[in-house]
Structure 1
Amino acid sequence: MRAIAIDGFGGPEVLRPADLPRPVPGPGEVLVKVAYAGVNPADWKAREGRLAGFFDYRFPFVPGFDLSGTVEAVGSGVSDLAPGMKVFGMSNQGQGANGSYAEYCLADPALLAPLPASLDLVEASGLGVSGTTAYGGLVDVGVLQPGQCVLINGGAGGVGSLAIQIAAALGARVAATCSARNAEYVASLGAERQIDYANQDVTAAVRDWVEAGVDLVLDAVGLGTLLPNATALVKPGGSFVEIETLVSRASESEIAAAAAQGVRITSNMVGISRLSEHLAGLARLFEEGRIRPAVTTVMPLSEAAEAHRRVEAGHVRGKIVLQIADDA
């Protein structure tokens, strides 16, 4: 099968075309014929070896978490999915298996969901990681409640653009950081306050919006951009949720200092065992028409390296996805 693989860690240039054996599903596994693969920040971090703490690499290694496509075959014990069903979700890359930058890949049934009627394969291919990260971070880990005030850091990106919609759909008031050029876009998603991170003091802008501070921050940027101001942004009793695969993690002393002021700093990985619930909740919101897909840019599989460069540079609006199947 056609794939993009790496033989070792490095920059985008290590991504190469490969001809690899087609996987065979074992017990409890699903073989998906991939139509499109979403590109996430976690992909280039996986390419650089930064996710070695989460899974073991076996080379040649095929990157790619997100996917959409058709069930090709199922292993013994799989009953909810059958050959011919269109699905979206995530590959088994998180368990160290080859990912979705290939014509076929393996997935755990809990990481797949039937394609909602309101979505096509292009739109759905970028939802697995971003969607479950946003949904899990807000609803599960952040325990979002109607009427709360939420700040999404990085509102125009793949996670942020879905997080704004999820929070608004569930009855929260939403503010989001973004560049000036994306202010109108994040407003269209449901952010009542748009904060230009380049030209505004984010903490001051949040306090101007909600004097006491917000109930919840979902940090979809990481890199320590907001973490030092967590207790100034979040009111006592609130939460600051980090996305751990952004290689952003508060120290024990930072967590303790925030807790002393009544602010909980936590990782989205707290809810990783409930990914199937996050995927189901996300699919339900799409089925109900309460949220819509982020803006999607489609690139051919052969341009995977360029897709990585764009995502790694930041400032991508919505999602980039790779077309895998010629007939997709």
Structure 2
Amino acid sequence: MKAISYARYGGPEVLEYGEVPDPRVGPDSVLVRVRAAAVNPVDWKCRDGHLDAILQPVFPVVPGWDVSGVVVQPGAAVTELAVGDEVVGYVREDFLSRGTFAEYVAAPLRTLARKPRNLSFEEAAGLPLTGLTAYQVLVKALRVKRGETVLVHAAAGGVGSIAVQLGRHLGARVVGTASEGNHDYVRGLGGEPLTYGEGLAERVRGLAPEGVDAVFDTVGGETLKTSANLLVPGGRLVSIADGDVVDYGGRYCFVRPDAEDLLRLTELAEQGVVTVHVSETFPLERAADAHRRSQEGRTRGKIVVTVDREERGAWRIPAEAR
């Protein structure tokens, strides 16, 4: 099959488009014909080797964890999904090798949920990682309650934009940092935008003089330090960007695949609670350009890689699996 892969750590130039071995479908996995795969900052951080300490690479690595597509072969033990079902998935394993920037991916059942019916494949591909991150932080880690004030950093980005919508759905007041050009976008999501950078503490205090009940940090560094000082007594702090959060009494979170959480996000998307904004799409063979664009930062919503119908070859189920 055709896929993007890299045989060594490095910049976007190490990504190659070409043939890789077809995936093997295990008993508890589902073979998905990929329609779209979203780009996340963690993709190029893995490619650069920044997660080498926790995720061992098995080269060549096919990057990508987010996917939307169609089931073409359920594993021998899978009864929950059938051929033709449209699915989304956060297909992360505990090593780097079998990603979603490909014509097909063998996805463990625990990583999948049905695709929201009201989202395109491109939009749906942008939901799993960002949606699960926002859901697991706000609902499970911060335990946001109705009437609370939550500060979300990078509120116009992939994770931040979902977090703003979920926070409002939970009944919270959401204050979100964003560049000035994205303030109207954040307002449209239901948040109250603030410009990040110098003077942030004063701007937050201007909206919430007593401080905020919870902070969702996606930036780290000085932003994390400033945020810790904005909490009310007993306030909660979670970061997905900086492990030093524990020094401020907070918690570090790394998103995990969870089929039940992903199904809940599907339901919220179908109810119109959560929307996904796709800022730009790239064909599979231009995945390196998609990585470059993501690394530039300040992306509104999601960047997505698409696999055209003409590009995907027909899948032949091995005789022993029939």
Paired residue for 2:18? 18
Which amino acid counterpart does residue 308 of structure 1 have in structure 2? H
Aligned-pair CA distance for 1:296: 3.5
Structure 1 residue 290 corresponds to structure 2 residue 284? no
Distance in 2, matches of 1:280 and 1:296, equals 24
In structure 2, the partner of 1:172 is 172
Q: Secondary structure at the match of 1:218?
A: strand
**1:229 alignment partner in structure 2:** 226
The answer on 1:268 being equivalent to 2:253 is yes
- Structure 1 residues 23 and 302, CA, compared in 2 at 3 Å: closer, same or farther? same
**Deviation (angstroms), 1:325:** 3.0
Describe how 1:141-220 pairs up with structure 2 within 5 A.
141-191=141-191, 193-198=192-197, 201-220=199-218
Q: Which residue of 1 aligns with 2:289?
A: 306
Matches within 5 A, 1:63-74: 63-74=63-74
Deviations 1:236-286 (A, max 9, x none): 21211111xx4x21165x2xxx34xxxxx11223x73x7223212211211
Tell me the residue number matched to 1:131: 131
Q: Which range is displaced more, 126-135 or 318-327?
A: 318-327
Q: Residue 12 of structure 1 aligns to which amino acid in structure 2? A: P
Of stretches 102-111 and 225-234 in structure 1, the one that deviates more from structure 2 is 225-234
For the Cα contact (< 8 Å) 1:136–1:275, is it kept in 2?
no
- State the Cα RMSD in Å: 1.7
Q: Distance in 2 between matches of 1:99 and 1:194?
A: 35
Give the stretch that moved more between structures: 275-284 or 70-79. 275-284
Taking structure 2 as the reference length, what is the TM-score of the superposition? 0.92
Flag the 1:124–1:159 CA change in 2: closer, same or farther, 3 A: same
Question: Residue 94 of structure 1: CA displacement?
Answer: 4.6
SS at match of 1:250: helix
1:54-88 per-residue CA deviation (whole Å, 9 max, x = no partner) reads: 32211111000111000111212222112210001
Letter in 1 for 2:283: P
Cα distance, 1:313 vs structure 2: 1.6
Query: For 1:327 and 1:293, how far apart are their aligned partners in 2?
Result: 26
> How many Å separate the matches in 2 of 1:275 and 1:171?
24
Specify the alignment match of 2:243 in structure 1: 249
Shift of 1:203: 1.3
Do 1:4 and 1:15's aligned partners in 2 also have CA atoms closer than 8 Å? yes
Q: Which runs of 5+ in 1 are unaligned?
A: 260-264
Pair 1:71–1:94, CA change in 2 (3 A) = farther
Residues 135-182 of structure 1 show CA distances to partners (whole Å, capped at 9, x for unaligned) of 111111111111111111001110011111111112110110000110
Q: 1:98: how far off?
A: 1.1
Counterpart amino acid of 1:249? G
Q: Equivalents in 2 of 1:51, 1:275: separation in Å?
A: 21
Match of 2:85 in 1: 85
Identity %, equivalent residues: 40
- Structure 1 counterpart of 2:12, which letter? P
Note if contact 2:58-2:95 (Cα within 8 Å) is conserved in structure 1. no
Moved over 4 A (4+): none
Note the 1:1-150 alignment, pairs <5 A. Answer: 1-150=1-150
Q: Which residue of 2 aligns with 1:262?
A: none
Confirm or deny that 1:240 pairs with 2:234.
Answer: no
Q: In the alignment, is the contact (CA less than 8 A) between 2:175 and 2:193 conserved in 1?
A: yes
The count of residues paired between Structure 1 and Structure 2 equals 311
Structure 2 spans left out of the alignment, 5+ residues: 312-322
Alpha-carbon distance in structure 1 between the residues aligned to 2:189 and 2:252: 25
Give 1:53 deviation, angstroms.
2.8
Tell me by how many angstroms 1:95 deviates.
Answer: 4.0
Per the alignment, in what secondary structure is the counterpart of residue 311 of structure 1? helix
Contact 2:122 2:278 in 1 (8 A): no
Q: Secondary structure at the match of 1:60?
A: strand
Q: Secondary structure of the residue that 1:216 maps to in structure 2? A: strand
3-state SS in 1 of match to 2:67: strand
